Amino acid sequence: MDGKRLLELDGMRGIGCVIVLCVHAWPPQLFWGWGLMEMFFVLSGFLITRILLNTDLSALRIRNFLIRRALRIWPVYFFAIVAYLALWTVQSNAVDGPWHDIKFWQLLTFTQFLEGYGATTADFAYQYPSYVLHSWSLAAEEQFYILWPLLILLVGKRVPALLLVCVCFVALGVTLRSEEAAVILLGTRADGFAFGAAMAVLEMWVRDEGGYARAQVNLLYAFMLGAGLSIIAPYIWGGYVGDEVKDFFSLRTYGSWRWNVLGFSMFFFGLIGLMLTNQLRPLRWFLSFRWFTWLGERSYSIYMWQGLAFAGVIWFSYKVPLPTQLGHVIAVIGGVALGVVSYWLVEQRALKFKMRFKVTRSELAGLPEPPPMSSLPPQEPPPATLKSESAAVR
């Protein structure tokens, strides 16, 4: 990355995070926005795999990798959970049942929603307070952080083997959704992580092989973008024009989860991949706009704190009646505001400790990260001697 963040990816996160808040406020009108979760999973799969492929996978480096992930996720997460507990305690005196009806203990171990692997619907999730249901995606991320380094350590950094593992992950997701497993689990949403990981593997391949590989990868990204769009477009069109989505419950049952999760993952795989290879320069310029990247830097805190904003507005409306739409607007703005405060108070301070735990070869040597595909100049295939050395590294 030339030592710098990819600003367009920050911009994607910023826009996506605000849209997710709006989806939670107005699900019938913005039902298609649930697909943005696949965008976040693709980004996670890409960035995490990119780090691991540039890491000596010794026990020390894997330990440092997990510590860095913990510093990235845990401080904001547990700080928010404490606030949720306080709010739930106040509300439960007047509205909810006793403590033993709520599975807060699972929220403290990232094992929430695992019982979904034995369920045929997502109704089991309502054992948790409604304002922490969005934490399912954080649990999936944490489980991916633990599982994925072990798989890379097992199969090695060989391109064919890693791509085969990615294909198996996609097949796992499609299979579990075909069996009507709950769609808020790592297994059922594995497609996005797998496509993102494949993007990082392809980047490594292009860096080693040169211009011909870059052209092939661009064709793949363009094909997957079109194929994904062909899957999700009828779903979105039917929901609006056919008026098949009228409320939250019809949103839950509308469409085919089996193929739409796959379609959104393919779409974002192609879109992000083409941006990284510098094929969509106007979009990269748009997403790099400072307000979008500013939101992207704070998107995790905003996502984590949104539940408190929505729950607080609902609780306040019991005492002071609010027009529904006004309440939704206040909740969205409040979620962003809480996230900004959390980023300043908690997240920034925790992130300062990350560099104490060096992971990549570049960090250990004090060098910048390897450049993404978009910054590689056209070149002839490397000499045989260099190519054989690259193969040995893989």
Q: How many CB atoms lie within 10 A of CB 257?
A: 23
- In this predicted structure, the answer to whether residue 104 has a pLDDT above a threshold of 80 is no
Cα–Cα distance, 96 to 89 (Å, whole number): 9
Mean of the pLDDT values across residues 45-59?
87
- Triad 84, 90, 92: Cα angle to 5°: 95
What phi and psi values does residue 119 have, to the nearest 5 degrees?
-110, 155
Rounded mean pLDDT, 136-142:
90
Q: What's the pLDDT score for residue 366?
A: 54
End-to-end CA distance of the chain: 20
Give the model confidence (pLDDT) of 332-366 as tens digits. Answer: 999 999 999 999 999 988 888 877 787 776 666 55
Give the pLDDT score at 101: 55
CA 315 to CA 321: how far, in whole Å?
10
Write out pLDDT tens, residues 247-288: 656 666 666 788 889 999 999 999 999 998 888 889 999 999
**Alpha carbon 245 to chain centroid distance?**
25
Q: Is the separation of the CB atoms in 360 and 51 below 8 Å? A: yes
* Res 169 pLDDT > 50: yes
**pLDDT, position 247:** 61
Instruction: Enter the pTM of the model.
Output: 0.86
The per-residue pLDDT for 119 is 74
Report yes or no: 140 and 186 within 8 Å, Cβ to Cβ. Answer: yes
Q: What is the mean pLDDT of the chain?
A: 82
CB 163 within 8 A of CB 196: no
State the pLDDT confidence band at 375, using cuts at 50, 70 and 90: very low
Helix (H) or strand (E) run with residue 361 in it:
helix 361-365
Pairs from 101-106 (Cβ < 8 Å, separation ≥ 24): 101/127, 102/127, 102/128, 102/129, 103/127, 103/128
Provide, rounded to the nearest whole percent, the portion of the chain with pLDDT above 90.
Answer: 39
Predicted confidence at residue 238, as pLDDT, reads 75
**Predicted local confidence at residue 211, as pLDDT:** 72
What value does the mean pLDDT take over residues 197-205? 94
318-327, pLDDT tens digit by residue? 788 888 889 8
Amino acid (one-letter) located at 102: I
370: pLDDT strictly greater than 60: no
More confident residue, 218 or 380: 218
3 state DSSP class of 12: helix
Beta bridge mates, 360:
55
Q: What is the C-alpha to C-alpha distance for residues 222 and 101, in angstroms, rounded to an integer?
A: 49
Which of 74-78, 133-137, 324-328, 383-387 has the lowest average pLDDT?
383-387
